[in-house]
Amino acid sequence: MEYFVALNQVLVLFLLIGVGFFCRRAGILNENSVSSLSKFLLNICIPAMIIYSMQIPFSQSIAEKSGMLLVGAVLYYIIAFGVCWVTPYLLRCKREEFGVFRFMTMFSNSMFMGFPILSMLYGSEAIFYAAIFNIPFTLLTYSVGIWLLRSGKGGVSFSWKLLLNAAFLSTFVGIVFFVTSFSIPDPFYGALGLLSDVTTPLSLIVTGGFLASLETRAIFSNVRQYFAAGIRLLAIPALTFAVCSPFISDPLILGIAVVTAGMPAAVNTVILAEEHDARPDIAAQGVFISTLLCVVTLPMLAVFLG
């Protein structure tokens, strides 16, 4: 049962990528419109989704599980960072590709794809904990993630200016609202909800638009992408399970950590790679290939944890 639930969700997301691919090839979208949509997602939709997803009232009864989940998240990102740093060397990537391969390896599609799959596998209770697990993802994506994307450009340097972006700052707003149980009043809450709903399909459509600009042969001919997908979909969740299982006894919390670790490359890899001129073509290939292969790996992971 779990196999077909995960398979169905993956196919739905692939259809949305196909919509973007078709629109670009048919001339409905062009290079400028895809680029503009990327900026709209980064500065409006994704921040709205972050704040909206954290509108959950805090209670003492969930503190213990939340703390356990945050331990799992920390362990996962330590593992992912170590693996992602050596991945370009293992794959013998070109120097300008280091950043995008590191980003794809470290960050999974934990929100766009992770939330609906976790909800189907574990029920609505999983969404709250998935949102908690996603807090480090948001913090790291728009700080360490951008730093990683730039790591292939002649030396690694960090600037605090990288933190001054809408998605990162909105995370702090969301944390304050979560801790204080502040409820955003309507109609603002409703508007955030609608923007949040738009984010997933629009991100996938933009990904499809990027893919349509590539030669079809180029999408499948980059052998490095298959090895990178294997690391992303198999090696990292296996390591996460091995490291977290001695510390996390709750099957729901362990399942959320491992399933999230086994998601394909984050959709916003393409958007951020475009924003920071870090080979968005390679990013689009990686998202496509890893999402394609997760049709097999995610259902298997669900059966293993079940």
Domain boundaries in the chain?
A: 2-36+63-161+208-305
CA distance 108 to 20: 21
Q: What is the pLDDT of residues 214-255, one digit of tens each?
A: 777 777 888 999 999 999 999 999 999 999 999 888 888 899
Is 147 in contact with 276 (CB distance < 8 Å)?
Answer: no
What is the value of pTM for the model shown? 0.83
252/248 Cα distance (integer angstroms):
9
Rounded to an integer, the average pLDDT of 158-168 is: 70
Cβ contact 17:200 at 8 Å = no
What are the tens digits of pLDDT across the range 39-50? 898 889 989 988
Per-residue confidence band for 163, with pLDDT thresholds at 50, 70 and 90: low
DSSP conformation class of 234: I
